[in-house]
Amino acid sequence: MNPVFAERRYLIPFRATLLSQIFTDVLVIGGGVAGMRAALAAAEHSDVIVTTKGQLEQTNTYWAQGGIACVLDESDTVEKHVQDTLTTGAGLCDETVVRTNVAEGPHRVRELIAWGMRFDKARPDSEEGSIALGREGGHSMARILHADGDATGKELALTLYRKVKATERVRYFAECFVLDLVTIEGTSAAGALAGRCAGAITWHPKYGLQVIWAKATILASGGCGQVYRESTNPPIATGDGIAMAYRAGAVLADMAFVQFHPTTLYVAGASRSLITEAVRGEGGLLIDRNGYRFMPDYHEMAELAPRDIVSRAILAQIVKTGHTHVYLDCRHMGTAAFASRFPGIFQLLRKFDIDPGKSPIPVHPSAHYMVGGVRTDVQGRTNITGLYAAGEAASTGLHGANRLASNSLLEGLVYGEICGRVCAEMCTNGPTTPAKIVSDIRPSDRSELDLADVRSSLRSVLWRHVGIIRDGARLAEVSEMFDFWARYTLDKIFDDVRGWEIQNMLLVGALITRSAQWRTESRGTHYRLDHPRMSDELRVHDLWQRGQTEPRTLKVD
């Protein structure tokens, strides 16, 4: 990797003087499912601060239409769920982590129910009715729990938020942007970066810059979908947590594996709103402009094939037909049934005068989920002492090379709880000792690029060349583009969130590109035209760390 990205050591540049210091036992960065569940677990043994970049309704969790994958039915088994996850993960799942998540799922779901979360029931007219279970792509059984049809994430987020706000030992700081982790650095005997995380530097529109000192820090900051032009993610998903972890010396893994959701609403000028996979689970069919159902031509599971296969099939059919998109045909359900099962999507479609009971829905793939992220062990620890990671920002090994549908909310619940519980190991020490914080970036002597243009350009080039289908020559070109943008942007000192976001997006985009360029095979979400097959030699996790120009590899057992 270019030295601009790999060799510089710095906190993200800032001018202002730190105005205040706050002390806590545990700092949780992120207010989605993983962050809030981690905070609740940590509050059982310590005082906790939760920082969220925006408001609750801006999180990926709140936006999630899909459900929670969980083994509850007597005809289903943990082993079946494990095998479905391993199959979709294309040889890169860590089986111990998979079994932990699947086995813990029922406990975490029953916990949510005890906290007041409402799940859709198979018999809505009965208060004691059993929970309705849906099926989604890659699953061999119906095991997906939903709430209000297509608003599972909203109900989950509100349930956890109410619990967090009612927990005395948790303080919740909304609109609090985290610039960087504070680390006390060192090196291992092998010469690799090591050290201890001591908290983070934050910025709040009312209180300005602050440092939050913490004995343990849990990174649950979510994904980075906004680095792509076409994305289902909310605007705040700019990869800040992944970028700050890399700058601090944390190991990142499998950054090439970005999952693209096959079906987002395709209306010119409109944002790419998600059309949940559960619609296909209810019998929705993918057809092209000629009304031809094409998925059986690409995979035996047709519309319920894993997402990477469906996304590539849609792109192939678009090329065949010379059209800009395909259609999701739900006319078999009728208007009333669709509106009852998917009320949120129905209201969205009404804004564009689309009646799904009468007309097919125009759809196109979009960037959806970062499978890679900050590498952790089986208990959520990173290579930096005192730093843990959970949820989309983490790479636990659960998803391998491709995430099984609805396993992400499950992972947030399970690994949020694990991180919150395990971090007690750091909280038995005495008070956190403040350290000197230095941002040693000198004023740049290079011209300043237009930030809006850089943001737009990087999102467009990642979508075109580091998206669903990739090619080595194009990836090399994109790497050169990132090197150029970095020279004129990463050396600048900004005083606002937009500037810091651009620096984070550049770093994350470059890491995705480098990982994709290195992985000369096609596996899971990652498809290379010039290397269309899987390679046994590359059945490894690629590990990226600041100061190294090439990744280390970790063989999958």
Instruction: Determine the Cα–Cα distance for residues 60 and 233; give it in Å rounded to an integer.
Output: 6
Spacing of C-alpha 249 from chain mean position: 20
Handedness of CA 443, 446, 452, 454 (dihedral sign): negative
Pair of tokens at residue 526: 């990652």
Q: DSSP string spanning 326-393?
A: EEEE-TTT-HHHHHHH-HHHHHHHHTTT--TTTSPEEEEEEEEEE--EEE--TTSB-SSBTEEE-GGG
For residue 442, with 0-12 CB atoms within 10 Å meaning exposed, 13-18 middle and 19 or more buried, which class applies? Answer: exposed
Closest C-alpha among 54, 94, 408 to residue 226: 54
Name the CA radius of gyration of the chain, rounded.
Answer: 22
Closest C-alpha among 442, 425, 432 to residue 380: 425
Q: How many CB atoms lie within 10 A of CB 208?
A: 13
Instruction: Determine the Cα–Cα distance for residues 557 and 555; give it in Å rounded to an integer.
Output: 6
Strand-strand pairing, 144-145 and 68-69: antiparallel
Closest C-alpha among 306, 282, 280, 276 to residue 293: 280
Residue whose token pair is 């979009």: 366
Instruction: Determine the Cα–Cα distance for residues 237 and 226; give it in Å rounded to an integer.
Output: 6
Q: How many CB atoms lie within 10 A of CB 80?
A: 16
Q: How many CB atoms lie within 10 A of CB 7?
A: 12
Instruction: Determine the Cα–Cα distance for residues 57 and 157; give it in Å rounded to an integer.
Output: 8
Closest C-alpha among 183, 249, 239 to residue 211: 183
Handedness of CA 392, 395, 398, 400 (dihedral sign): positive
Instruction: Determine the Cα–Cα distance for residues 521 and 420; give it in Å rounded to an integer.
Output: 37
By the 8 A CB rule, do 290 and 320 touch?
Answer: no
Q: Respond yes or no: is residue 403 known to be catalytic.
A: no
Instruction: Determine the Cα–Cα distance for residues 3 and 487; give it in Å rounded to an integer.
Output: 10
Beta bridge partners of 69: 144
Instruction: Determine the Cα–Cα distance for residues 408 and 103; give it in Å rounded to an integer.
Output: 15
Task: Give the number of C-alpha atoms closer than 13 A to the C-alpha of residue 552, restricted to the C-beta side.
Answer: 10
Per annotation, catalytic residue among 307, 341, 403, 470: 307
Instruction: Determine the Cα–Cα distance for residues 526 and 468; give it in Å rounded to an integer.
Output: 7
The catalytic residue positions are 307
